[in-house]
Amino acid sequence: MSNPLPIMPLADGLKLVIMMLGARTIHLVMEMTSSFATCPVCGKASNKIRSFYKLTLRDLAWRGTPVIIRLTARRFACVDRDCQQRIFCERIPELVPAHGRRTARFTETLSALGRASSAEAATRLARNLGLSTSADTVLRANRATPEPKMPTHRVC
Ligand SMILES: [Zn+2]
């Protein structure tokens, strides 16, 4: 199925169910679509869904309006009887890191703002862009996101 919102790229295995426009927030309800997930311990694919759970993630603002993603994800049973991981949660690392409350691109943006200025200035700028955050969160984003490597130039 093609992406109904071409201006908002979706990760593979992710489907937009509904978009709700609130007075001050945009809510995107999404769900996982892949028929299987890979066990993080043994690497075997499983299609044995055991339960569902919901994640609430802050995403980049849309024209200054905060965006909240409500994602329904699944827990799978590992198919390898010898694997020590009996149940595991499916992951989309390009969308959200494990145990994250913000999308990866939200954290990367905070980190970039923090590298360009002080944590306090980055926090003010982020809030002006619709990204609710704190100086501590900017500092944590800086630690969690490695600084991109810049090419070095020799001066003779
Ligand atoms: Zn396993």
Distance 47 CA to ligand 1 centre (A): 12
Q: What does the pLDDT read at residue 4?
A: 54
Residue in 25, 34, 74, 33 with CA at minimum distance from that of residue 54: 74
Is residue 110 within 8 Å of residue 138, measured between CB atoms? yes
The pLDDT of residue 144 is above 80: no
33: confidence class by pLDDT, cuts 50, 70, 90: confident
Cα 39 to averaged position of ligand 1 atoms, centre (Å): 5
What does the pLDDT look like over 49-101, one tens digit per residue? 999 999 999 999 988 899 999 999 899 999 999 999 999 998 877 777 777 78
Check whether 21 has a pLDDT greater than 70.
yes
Interval between CA 76 and ligand 1 midpoint (Å): 10
For residue 139, what pLDDT is reported?
Answer: 85
C-alpha of residue 37 to centroid of ligand 1, in Å: 10
Q: What is the pLDDT of residues 88-135, one digit of tens each?
A: 998 877 777 777 788 888 888 888 888 888 888 989 988 888 888 888
Average pLDDT value over all residues in the chain: 85
79 Cα: distance to centroid of ligand 1 (angstroms):
7
Alpha carbon of 140 to ligand 1 centroid (Å): 31
Q: Where in the chain are the domains?
A: 1-92, 102-145
pLDDT band at residue 137 under the 50/70/90 scheme: confident
Q: Round to whole Å and give the CA distance between 28 and 57.
A: 10
Torsion (CA) 21, 22, 28, 29 in degrees, nearest 10:
-110
Q: How far is the CA of 101 from the centre of ligand 1 (A)?
A: 25
Q: To which H or E segment does residue 104 belong?
A: helix 104-116
pLDDT the model gives residue 142: 80
Confidence at residue 151, expressed as pLDDT on a 0 to 100 scale: 62
Task: Determine the distance separating the centroid of ligand 1 and the alpha carbon of 54, expressed in angstroms.
Answer: 22
